[in-house]
Amino acid sequence: MTRFSANLGFLWADRPLPGAIRAAAAAGFDAVECHWPHDTPPDAIAAALADTGLAMLGMNTRRGRPGENGLSALPGREAEARAEIDATIAYARAIGAGAIHVMAGVADGPAADAAFRASLAHACDSAPELTVLIEPLNPRDAPGCFLRGSDQAAALIGALGRPNLKLMFDCYHLQIVDGDITRRLRDMAGIIGHVQVAAVPDRGAPDHGELDYRHICAVLDDIGWTRPVGAEYRPPGDTDASLGWMATLGR
């Protein structure tokens, strides 16, 4: 039976994060994850997690300036990228999060590749107890993003050789960029650190569109995936009214 994590960047996004955590618990989620909690005092997050018994699976480094979508692959911004990584590690430790997603940013070329590798090595070595995630993003939602596909991400993970560096396997992004989701899940199982789901192409609830998540959940069971899968979709209105998919996929 697939378990699910509520991504609070999109679900109950109209509420302060502590309230969203409590709403996720009431809805029956097994864990939570978030995008950028940095402006919420970490003790408020930790208290909500303690009250509900939910684990915070992960959070992102900050995006930087408008349109940058991350700093870690930006040549000339290495010091700023490291500072953001360090701040995210400190926040993750304060709330007991298990992972950080190091956002690459809008960049290209050898200098960007070198900057990203240095940022990732710093993150992995600074927090060996955390999983450091990298996520390919599709060009429609994130034009110009440095990390553009799962093969590129797998090559980086292999080259850096850090055991805590893993792939964020976002089925929504990777269906748009790569396709062949079943084979990629099987082939990349050893380097996947987190899985996320949403309908393609509208990024709605995972109960319609071109991906059959009943099949994908069965594949995840087959490859031995036991951790909660992140529900990172955009509800069309009230989050609670959008949760019917949970009965079909996981309950």
Q: What is the pLDDT of residues 155-212, one digit of tens each?
A: 999 999 999 999 999 999 999 999 999 999 999 999 999 999 999 999 999 999 999 9
Percent of the chain with pLDDT over 70: 99
**Overall pTM > 0.85:** yes
pLDDT band at 248 (very low <50, low <70, confident <90, very high): confident
Distance of CA 242 to the CA centre of its chain: 20
Q: Is residue 248 part of a domain?
A: no
Q: Is residue 123 part of a domain?
A: yes
Q: Is residue 38 part of a domain?
A: yes
Which H or E run includes 166? Answer: strand 165-170
- Across the range 225-250, mean pLDDT stands at 94
Report, in this order, helix, strand and coil percent for the chain, each rounded to 5: 40, 15, 45
Query: What's the total number of domains in the chain?
Result: 1
* Whether the predicted pLDDT of 218 surpasses 90: yes
Range of the domain at 49: 4-243
Q: Determine the Cα–Cα distance for residues 203 and 28; give it in Å rounded to an integer.
A: 21
Tens digits of per-residue pLDDT, 3-17? 999 999 999 999 999
Q: Is residue 251 part of a domain?
A: no
Q: Is residue 212 part of a domain?
A: yes
User: Which domain CATH number covers 81?
Assistant: 3.20.20.150
Q: Determine the Cα–Cα distance for residues 249 and 245; give it in Å rounded to an integer.
A: 6
pLDDT score of 67: 85
pLDDT score of 188: 98
* Whether the predicted pLDDT of 233 surpasses 70: yes
List all residues 6 or more positions away from 170 whose beta carbon is below 8 Å from its beta carbon. 135, 136, 137, 195, 196, 198, 232
Q: Is residue 250 part of a domain?
A: no
Would you name the residues annotated as active-site residues?
Answer: 135, 232
Alpha helices per DSSP H over 28-149: 42-52, 78-95, 110-126
Tens digits of per-residue pLDDT, 64-85? 988 889 999 999 999 999 999 9
Q: Is residue 199 part of a domain?
A: yes
Q: Is residue 249 part of a domain?
A: no
* Whether the predicted pLDDT of 251 surpasses 60: no
